[in-house]
């Protein structure tokens, strides 16, 4: 009997690995996701220092639909950076810029970037971001259509603004809504595919 196909959104907390395998010193998805579904896996990744939306499923067709370079699915993040972000940096981020990944130069695709007020609805991070009174921070929202290794951190570093906090809040029209860190929300296939713009 074939297993039922299931679709989930997991709000990945800070310092949790985007995998079910546990590694010494770090929690993994397995510490939160308690359903007995051995074939469920994450689609894509968030590095352990990042938070927010992680998609989980046992539908193998979604790998190419979401992760293929041709898919160009929009992923949206809230970013807290060190320093006072300016229009010049936002312009460079928006137009695409050169970053280094695995010792190779790469030019990012154009992104949508805007400064935002500190999000009031966002949960407290545990542990909190280190506060330094003499150095201001800025919040931004950025949407990209790629997913290179630590890409957003590299992009902001390239324009002189180290990332303090990074939270993925949406993939296409699927929004992390009222799901607290460590929680899982299940979707039916039609809603999941519609929100992710998968035909």
**Residues annotated as part of the active site:** 47
Q: How far, in Å, are 65, 90, 167 from residue 68 at the CA level? A: 6, 27, 22
Specify whether the CB–CB gap between 53 and 7 falls below 8 A: no
Residues 80/129, Cβ–Cβ less than 8 Å: yes
Compute the Cα dihedral for 109, 158, 155, 28 and give only its sign: positive
Residue burial 136-150, b: 16+ Cβ < 10 Å; e: rest:
ebbbbbbebeebeee
Calpha distance 93→110 (Å, rounded): 7
């Amino acid at each position: 009997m074939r297993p039922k196909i299931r679709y989930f959104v997991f709000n990945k907390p800070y310092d949790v690995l985007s995998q079910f395998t546990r590694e010494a010193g770090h929690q993994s998805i397995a510490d939160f996701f308690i359903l007995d579904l051995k074939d469920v896996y994450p689609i894509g990744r968030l590095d352990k220092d990042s938070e927010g939306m992680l998609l989980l499923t046992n539908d193998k067709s979604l790998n190419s639909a979401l992760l293929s370079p041709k898919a160009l699915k929009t992923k949206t993040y809230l970013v807290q950076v060190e320093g006072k972000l300016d229009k010049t940096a936002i312009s460079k981020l928006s137009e695409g810029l050169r970053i280094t990944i695995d010792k190779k130069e790469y030019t990012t695709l154009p992104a949508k970037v805007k400064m935002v007020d500190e999000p009031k609805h966002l949960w407290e991070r545990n542990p909190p971001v280190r506060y330094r009174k003499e150095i201001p921070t800025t919040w931004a929202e950025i949407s990209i259509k790629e997913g290179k290794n630590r890409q957003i951190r590299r992009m902001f570093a390239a324009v002189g603004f180290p990332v303090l906090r990074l939270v993925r809040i949406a993939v296409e029209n699927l929004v992390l809504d009222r799901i607290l860190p460590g929680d899982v929300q299940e979707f039916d296939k039609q809603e999941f595919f519609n929100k992710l713009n998968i035909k």
